[in-house]
Chains A and B, each alone.
Chain A
């Protein structure tokens, strides 16, 4: 009897093990995704990149039927988080929010990866640079402003959000297009730069229109021009720099990407799910409330944009140094 029990026991054990193994196999063959997806945000919680990612994650959890876990991996101007995202397993379970820094950091030797290490899912948001001055400044148009800058090389103090950051590069791009020389003053982010222009310490800033919207509405600042291909819905009266004859379109953007070797079937699931998410009412109204512009590009368009920016920023950075 005792032996029988022992034998029965081992049979049960074997059956159990086989079942578990089969179950494991079955699980692996099941459709992607069958576990939580991690979304890496390369900037800190509460910032623009973070809130956009969290809003997308929230809108996508219905169609993916899996939890999306947002993790902030910060440091080195986004290089730490994006680096980790680029080196993740290419199985679709790690999605990274990529930002314009993906194309601005590598030419400055500040990141050990390039946009080629990623496979983009889609661009979600983009904000152009804009030339903003104090409301009582003597210039009312981009032409007047840049003409003054040309007559007084190195005199116009233009605030940016940090050396090598996108708004600094934007000012350099404008400098190059208009053949003028600015005095670039670096601030710790856009907000202190806006404070400095309100205090009358600098002449202009090149941050995004959304970052000066409340001061513009209050009549303290005015936007002379935006560095975009088309006029903005939020400021339809402000001309683009191209209209004024300066061929500059530069700005920040945010999108989603996975490591470069991610297979097509996984990509399609993610594209489908996030494509659905950005159309959800909850997401669009969230973006509108936050003053953020939805700018969708698909994989091919996004890839093309990054490739042209890689070249553009490489040339631009060479000019700074």
Chain B
């Protein structure tokens, strides 16, 4: 294997290939940072460009876009509270808080380092143990997916900050909204009112753009009158040793979580980021500080979503099955280059596979470099006066939600979600639970019903399979933990009050 890695390194150390990787990462960061342009769209849009290239350059250009876009999503999440991609939705929670304190540079630095750690870790795992990892991914059947979705949903109580009950209410609203569309088993239309645009339910990216970005613009319209400007300190871009001590362990653990989520076909960066956020909070000595803008809370989702990039390549390369929407397009790219992904790829094209591996590592490194170089420029965005920035964001919201399906209906959805999001902010309802519920609600329903169809209606199938039983138990603990903790502190306070 070392020989093959050496060959890969030699093949990548070529100006054309390095240039392609750098271009891919740079384009990816820009695509990721723009709300509405996701990693999947970036890869799909630039796919035709790669047809004329040789396999190494073409595939690595796309991988560069993939890695760059997943990192890029955090830039707008941190600066504008507008996740550039769904994978950065969890980053917006603490990232924007830190940025509001004038520490946008610090937040972006942490995000770049964590993305690098998560991404690199996942590629190393991809190189070392991808066949073994792929087997774990295949163990997931409907009950396991259901348990994973329930675990994801249980995170709602921990991403809701101090308003657990309001978070749960928001989650339930999200679940209700996610039931709109054609029933996946019977084909019956639910709450569509015959409107063709609702057959597949609400597109969740316009909803997310509305809830996060548009509602935030409404808030800044109010602030515009007050003329508050935040002074951004940009002296320090490289994270301090103090920050690194907190970031590195979190990023390693989260990168691992992301890689595992990535190998499961159908679970992507958005889920990975939320799971890692939750786990970081659970492992933390001061979980109550999550949501106030602390380094670990940015490191966890960012390391995890880039961890997913390497993880998602595992089933693609070893089984020929894409792990998420982006790798589905990558599958097309590989086939176009005459490479049939799957078990035979390693046998027939080993040198090329290792070239891709080494190139993917380099793409992650370029992402780190470009991330740091860019911080100075990125942070300039928030020094733009609100009366210019806010209209620009308005336009981006509209363009972004239109671009997803080229359908004007999505723009209306975005506006309505924006107004709802504004009211929710005013009433201190967190928005992340809605996003989580919209992503995971359909998955939970689909997989539950599939489990029951496959077991002839026997519900015990959910608890007798080991992976699903473990995940469901973690889900129950995760969900009730904040509530139990709160009750305990309440009782203690009462007792102290009585004394």
A contacts, CB < 8 Å to B: 44-48, 50-51, 54, 71-77, 79-80, 83, 108, 110-112, 157, 162-164, 183, 185-186, 188, 191-192, 194-196, 198-202, 213-215, 217-218, 220, 286, 289-291, 320
Contacts and interface: CB of A to CB of B under 8 A. Distances in A.
A211 B258 CA distance: 27
A45 B200 contact: no
B266 interface: yes
Given A72-B406, A199-B141, 9 more contacts: A51-B332, A54-B48, A72-B405, A75-B203, A80-B407, A191-B265, A215-B320, A289-B337, A291-B335
A244 to B, nearest CB: 27
A198 B342 CA distance: 12
Contacts of B319: 195, 198, 215
B140 to A, nearest CB: 7
Contacts of B454: 157, 183, 185, 201-202
A164 B184 CA distance: 9
Interface residues on B, range: 35 or more
Contact of B41 (A45, A79, A214): A45
Contacts of B344: 214, 217-218
Interface of B: 40-41, 43-45, 47-48, 51, 137-142, 182-187, 189, 196-197, 199-200, 203, 265-266, 315, 319-322, 328-329, 331-332, 335-338, 340-344, 405-407, 409, 446, 450, 453-454
Contacts of A79: 196, 199
A291 B336 CA distance: 9
A220 to B, nearest CB: 7
Contacts of A217: 340, 342, 344
Contacts of B329: 45-46
A163 B185 contact: yes
A48 B335 CA distance: 12
5 contacts: A45-B44, A162-B184, A183-B454, A191-B265, A320-B187
A110 B182 contact: yes
B196 A80 contact: yes
Nearest to A79: B196
B142 A183 contact: no
Contacts of A291: 335
A199 B140 contact: yes
A65 B495 CA distance: 84
B52 to A, nearest CB: 11
Contacts of A185: 142, 450, 453-454
A75 B196 contact: yes
A195 B138 contact: yes
Contacts of B45: 45
A163 B183 contact: yes
B338 A76 contact: no
A321 to B, nearest CB: 8
Given A163-B183, A163-B184, A188 B406 contact: no
B446 A183 contact: no
Given A75-B197, A183-B454, A188 B140 contact: no
Contact of A188 (B43, B47, B446): B446
A191 B138 CA distance: 12
Contacts of A214: 320, 340-344
A237 B128 CA distance: 37
Nearest to B331: A191
A199 B343 CA distance: 14
Contacts of B340: 213-214, 217
B200 A77 contact: yes
B47 to A, nearest CB: 6
B313 to A, nearest CB: 14
A75 B320 contact: no
Contact of A71 (B137, B139, B341, B406): B406
B328 A191 contact: yes
A186 B449 CA distance: 10
Nearest to A112: B196
Nearest to B45: A45
B320 A196 contact: no
B335 A290 contact: yes
B418 to A, nearest CB: 20
A280 to B, nearest CB: 14
A188 B323 CA distance: 12
Contacts of A54: 48
Given A46-B47, A75-B200, A163 B341 contact: no
A76 B185 contact: no
A218 B342 CA distance: 7
Nearest to A219: B343
